[in-house]
Amino acid sequence: MTTSFVLAHISDLHIKAAGRLSYQKVDTQQALQQCIDQLNQLRPAPDAVVITGDLTDFGRDEEYAEARALLDQLDLPWFAIPGNHDERSAFRRAFADKSWLPQNGEFINWVVDDFPVRIVALDTTVPGQSWGEFCAQRADWLGTVLAQQPDKPTMVLLHQHPFISGIDHMDRQNLRDSARLAETLSQAPQVERVLCGHVHRFMVSQLAGKVVCSAPGTSHQVAPDFTPAGPAHFVLEPAGLLLHRWVAQQGTTTHYLPIGHYPGPWPFYDANGLID
């Protein structure tokens, strides 16, 4: 029998309060509602949902209240880490009842061990900064946690991308110390995937031989502008989510699903064979 595990991965919700639009243009609440509806309708249902940061736009309590009310509509277990738009203390207040939320310590790092694949989540945020950090203290934590279960397939979560996206204004706020992260990961052959957000685009890269996947945003996407010193712009391309599907005999395959309603499905075949 196949042992499998499906992890839905969403990111960068940027929820605002009182019906306000993100950057005065984007209805992030409606976008998240559509994403949640789509996640709830997936069959078979994923095993869990992870959110790789930026649950709110400005880290305010009222934004967390809106985000929480929407996320509570998920029929699936869900887990989250903060991003640079979050605020740790407000994040802690909003999710204080969640078993995965650490009760103490500076960082919102956690581990979920309830599934065939282990989820290890790293808080790379730096208060007041957009860039992320993987300091010696966090490296100690991650190294220790990964060494505890060296044979269990594992996915590592963080917010800021630990690679060069090619989008200049985002690469000036990526994960600093990615070489240190590479060093930690190189000692953990069980790590199947590194999952991040922050760039609001679906991208696949690598670090220390691990596949790194950045999730698209659930609302707006960062403009794919690769010109040096290009402007910090966003676009309303289709929003999306990722499904990381692990099977025991092969490992993880990642699917990208645009959020929204699209025509189909229709059959390729009828009673006469392939439809001509």
Q: Which is nearer to Fe ion, 188 or 199 (CB)?
A: 199
Smallest gap from residue 160 Cβ to Fe ion (A): 10
Residue 86, interface with Fe ion (CB under 5 A)? no
Residue 54, interface with Fe ion (CB under 5 A)? yes
- Whether a cis peptide bond, with omega within 30° of 0, leads into 44 is yes
Q: Which is nearer to Fe ion, 178 or 219 (CB)?
A: 219
Smallest gap from residue 69 Cβ to Fe ion (A): 20
Residue 192, interface with Fe ion (CB under 5 A)? no
Residue 12, interface with Fe ion (CB under 5 A)? yes
DSSP 85: T
Residue 119 identity: I
Residue 47, interface with Fe ion (CB under 5 A)? no
Smallest gap from residue 141 Cβ to Fe ion (A): 24
- 179's enclosing H/E stretch is helix 178-186
Smallest gap from residue 225 Cβ to Fe ion (A): 16
Smallest gap from residue 122 Cβ to Fe ion (A): 17
Q: What is the C-alpha separation between 161 and 176, in angstroms, rounded? A: 9
Q: Which residues contact 87 (CB under 8 A, 6 or more apart)?
A: 56, 59, 60, 127
Pick the stretch among 8-16, 38-46, 145-153, 178-186 that binds Fe ion (CB under 5 A): 8-16
Residue reference for tokens 């204080």? 96
Find out whether 187 and 146 touch, Cβ atoms under 8 Å. Answer: yes
Rg (CA), the chain: 19
Q: Which residues of this chain interact with Fe ion, rule CB under 5 A? A: 12, 54
